[in-house]
């Protein structure tokens, strides 16, 4: 993957029937310490509680319904995150 989807993107995961809205990238699960590409909440409901928070990787996305805001700041952040991944 050469970039992360921006915050606000709305996706459908494989074998799912409910869309999710991405609100974070490069997230670490508290219980397992495993890193995921994204954290998301239900769409259109939004952030309800911790039980309705979803961690997933880019390869789990089946369909992208909306790509969130992209501006210079988001592109710089994306570059920083990608550079950090390649330096590991």
**Would you say residue 37 lies in a domain?**
yes
**Would you say residue 41 lies in a domain?**
yes
Q: What is the total count of domains within the chain?
A: 1
Q: Is 79 helix (H, G, I), strand (E, B) or coil?
A: helix
**Would you say residue 3 lies in a domain?**
no
87 vs 84: CA distance, rounded Å: 5
Domain region containing 37:
10-86
**Would you say residue 54 lies in a domain?**
yes
Strand boundaries in the chain, DSSP class E: 10-13, 20-28, 35-42, 53-56, 61-66
CB 56 within 8 A of CB 47: no
**Would you say residue 2 lies in a domain?**
no
Q: Is pTM beyond 0.75 here?
A: yes
HSE (side-chain half, CA atoms, 13 Å) at 27: 18
Local mean pLDDT, 10-residue blocks, the chain (88 residues): 86 97 94 96 95 95 96 89 74
2 vs 35: CA distance, rounded Å: 17
């Amino acid at each position: 993957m050469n970039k992360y989807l921006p915050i606000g993107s709305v996706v459908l995961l494989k074998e799912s029937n409910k869309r999710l809205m991405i609100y974070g990238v490069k997230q670490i699960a508290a219980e397992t310490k495993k890193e995921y590409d994204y954290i998301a909440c239900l769409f259109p409901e939004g952030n309800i509680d911790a039980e309705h928070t979803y961690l997933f990787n880019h390869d789990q996305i089946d369909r992208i319904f909306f790509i969130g805001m992209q501006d210079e700041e988001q592109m710089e952040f994306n570059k920083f995150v990608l550079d950090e991944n390649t330096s590991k």
